[in-house]
Structure 1
């Protein structure tokens, strides 16, 4: 009997329409920026979590619309007079909404997977947990919306819930983060109660299991409260229905790390493992970027060949950096950059295009590879602008000309770079070579004046 009613609800209720609207809006938003997740499963899961900013308000509004159905049809008194418990009447509708919302979320991820599967070289199991938290959040939002629609069966309830939830999900975390920065403290642990993933996740990072499990516990408790409120009759039942959410928050907040989503992220050692091409000069990338290896091999070997021709003691292999691009970077986040640095060219991965392959449409990648030979990697020490400009001159020395495209130059004085380059090539070849070797040795030794011989600090 219950199954037949559920099938009827799936076919005829507004649950299907709510899910279709969520699917269309979320998928369109996801596919508008496939570069953000193409070729990477974890980034797809995190992108799905970010889109809860759109899907949760729609689930709340759709649930509220379904929740006021009995009142809108004026059958409340009729159903109340029957002997059948209220929870038996609302359960099929709640189940239909949950099934359709979950299906929409999974379909969105499956559509996005078409941009990941062809080039992905690594599938982190944690991506499933990250996605599962998104599923629970939609169920909780839908059932809470139904409870609100039943309690306030007015036409304005659904749009009001959508607007309020957008404000809470979008503005409150930003407000708390700004307040924490002003007061020079970490983001509160309660910030992780929101299911929307706020901020960026580096390709070599994952969301720690403790955060996934704690968020799942909290959202399951919130969903239980929504379902209990939907079936509650009387003040005592309503009071008891709120307990799961209260207890869930009381348990979850102490278990969550302070610092928001920056603290919830950790380096994934499996994603940072190296995948190498040994057919010639050895070129390695991380497993997370294994799909980029065919595109990187050619430019990397060309850079190594150019260095070997002009730079004594040039590196003999190229390895993608395993330095995590994060404000909270662990000291051991870049093992490849600290080992055998004199013989290893450590480079940054190129931008990833819409198909998951490397985007090498501009002229930035090869110059970036060349200048990396003079890059300082000194435990998070920030380089000044002169260092960037000096490395630009060094790369030009290897190629024999200043690049036409200057988009990769740090904003500064192109004239100063050009003058320094002309001064350098005006010296005898032996002196040019001596200066470049001296600058590279100083950069590897993390000396503050490492690149002075390339770009004097007092200008040309």
Structure 2
């Protein structure tokens, strides 16, 4: 009989009629923006967890709340008292049917997004933890809405609780300050909040499951507590059943409270993920092995294979500079992409820097940190300004303490005027050197670069 009741509830669940709306909202809020971002598993999966749950939360909660007061709405409460199954069993069947359709819809949406991402050639494998957190959220949303409908039966309950849950989830994110916030337990959080879709997270190192595990524990505990609360009233069933419901409620509250406390012990690790000491596996701190993809420029540019799509833009931005400095003393023999180091600042600010010095080894290798969250034009400008300056400085010397001659040569090679003020003698010398044919400028550099690095040349000695 239980199976028949569940099949009946599944066929007539109002959640079934909400599936077209869910699919449309998912396409508009999650799928379209994801397709505008590069095909990186970490970027799309982490953004998917936040936006997809924002779509499903009000929809599932509203549908479950509408079903929660169905018996009162149809004035059937007295008619079903004499049925063979206790009220709690009937309620669980209705909740299970709503949850079933919510999970089917969620997995279908995630499957489409992940399938397209794989078809576009994303490196590595899918990140499953964001999808798991979303799937476990469906029973919790359904239970929350259903309990609200049972306890406050009204035609206004479904829209009000749907809007309330959506606002509560969004407002809770505003209380996240730093990496030790208890509010990180929200299922909308997939990593350090406000760090943005940083492609460097979960690329060079594994995606940490610490925070997702705490979120799954919280959601499972919340679901158990809500469903157990339905079995506590005297009319829900016999004394044994109510004791069982009380035990489930207590266990759920303990699990949810424990998860919140664990989230409050989280910290931002050096690789950009939230690590929770009691849940952390040190094996996840090992770097992921990969074979870099390299350009065929005079000085090869080698990137992580996840960034293969970035290679043409990086090569185009750096090739003029590499052509100028290749073979010169101090010039790198390879440009190799570097992992980033993340450090928590005040509130939610996160400092992102290069892991290690710009240049290391013999012969020297330049470690490149790619800029993030920029348009194509901004990407090229930022790359030339940051990496280009560092590469040229490794050849001409000086760095921050460069003398006027070193500044002029740097500006001439980069084709910029960011150091020397326009109209100054340094700027004039840079323009004069930049006007020389490439072969003549390179011949002069080969002959004088040692003296230039030693700081022995003046502006008057530049050609």
Q: Same fold (TM over 0.5)?
A: yes
> What's 1:147 paired with?
147
Matched, 1:205 2:201: yes
1:261–1:171 CA distance, 2 compared to 1 (3 A):
farther
> What's 1:38 paired with?
38
Shift of 1:395: 6.6
Structure showing greater radius of gyration is 2
2-structure distance, mates of 1:193, 1:59: 20
State which of 332, 343, 366 in structure 1 corresponds to 2:364: 343
Task: Work out whether residues 270 and 287 of structure 1, in 8 Å CA contact, stay in contact via their aligned partners in 2.
Answer: no
Matched, 1:265 2:295: no
> What's 1:316 paired with?
333
1:9–1:193 CA distance, 2 compared to 1 (3 A):
same
1:422–1:72 CA distance, 2 compared to 1 (3 A):
farther
1-structure distance, mates of 2:450, 2:274: 39
State which of 304, 307, 320 in structure 2 corresponds to 1:289: 307
1-structure distance, mates of 2:449, 2:170: 51
Q: Provide TM-score, normalisation by structure 2.
A: 0.72
| Greater RCO structure (CA 8 Å; 6+ sep) | 1
> What's 2:381 paired with?
364
Calculate the aligned-residue CA RMSD, in Å.
Answer: 4.4
Task: Work out whether residues 48 and 134 of structure 1, in 8 Å CA contact, stay in contact via their aligned partners in 2.
Answer: no
Task: Work out whether residues 322 and 337 of structure 1, in 8 Å CA contact, stay in contact via their aligned partners in 2.
Answer: no
1-structure distance, mates of 2:301, 2:165: 48
Task: Work out whether residues 64 and 158 of structure 1, in 8 Å CA contact, stay in contact via their aligned partners in 2.
Answer: yes
> What's 2:122 paired with?
120
Matched, 1:169 2:169: yes
> What's 1:193 paired with?
185
2-structure distance, mates of 1:421, 1:395: 11
Paired residues for 1:385-396 under 5 Å: 396=411
Task: Work out whether residues 341 and 353 of structure 2, in 8 Å CA contact, stay in contact via their aligned partners in 1.
Answer: no
1:268–1:54 CA distance, 2 compared to 1 (3 A):
farther
2-structure distance, mates of 1:195, 1:72: 32
Deviations 1:99-155 (A, max 9, x none): 22122222222232355222311226xx21222012111221111211111111112
Q: Provide the secondary structure at the position in 2 that maps to 1:305.
A: helix
Paired residues for 1:24-423 under 5 Å: 24-34=24-34, 37-51=37-51, 52-117=53-118, 118-123=120-125, 127-177=127-177, 186=178, 188-197=180-189, 198-199=193-194, 200=196, 202-206=198-202, 207-234=207-234, 240=247, 242-258=249-265, 264-265=273-274, 269-270=286-287, 273=290, 275-277=292-294, 281-293=299-311, 296-297=314-315, 299-308=317-326, 312-324=329-341, 327=344, 334-335=355-356, 337=358, 339-340=360-361, 343-349=364-370, 359=376, 364=381, 367-368=384-385, 369-374=387-392, 396-398=411-413, 401-402=415-416, 416=421, 419=424, 420-423=426-429
1-structure distance, mates of 2:36, 2:84: 54
Q: Provide the secondary structure at the position in 2 that maps to 1:77.
A: coil
Q: Provide TM-score, normalisation by structure 1.
A: 0.73
Query: Which blocks of at least 5 consecutive residues in structure 1 are unaligned?
Result: 178-185, 377-382, 404-408, 443-449, 455-460
Q: Provide the secondary structure at the position in 2 that maps to 1:116.
A: helix
Q: Provide the secondary structure at the position in 1 that maps to 2:335.
A: strand
> What's 2:281 paired with?
none
Count of equivalent residues: 410
2-structure distance, mates of 1:109, 1:154: 33
2-structure distance, mates of 1:213, 1:90: 28
Deviations 1:354-379 (A, max 9, x none): xxxx9579853773553341579xxx
Matched, 1:424 2:430: yes
2-structure distance, mates of 1:272, 1:396: 38
2-structure distance, mates of 1:173, 1:34: 21
2-structure distance, mates of 1:53, 1:392: 51
2-structure distance, mates of 1:86, 1:152: 17
2-structure distance, mates of 1:135, 1:191: 20
Task: Work out whether residues 69 and 154 of structure 2, in 8 Å CA contact, stay in contact via their aligned partners in 1.
Answer: yes
2-structure distance, mates of 1:99, 1:393: 68
Q: Provide the secondary structure at the position in 2 that maps to 1:79.
A: coil
1:331–1:143 CA distance, 2 compared to 1 (3 A):
closer
1:31–1:372 CA distance, 2 compared to 1 (3 A):
farther
1-structure distance, mates of 2:56, 2:232: 26
Q: Provide the secondary structure at the position in 1 that maps to 2:117.
A: coil
> What's 1:181 paired with?
none
1-structure distance, mates of 2:420, 2:359: 34
Q: Provide the secondary structure at the position in 2 that maps to 1:346.
A: strand
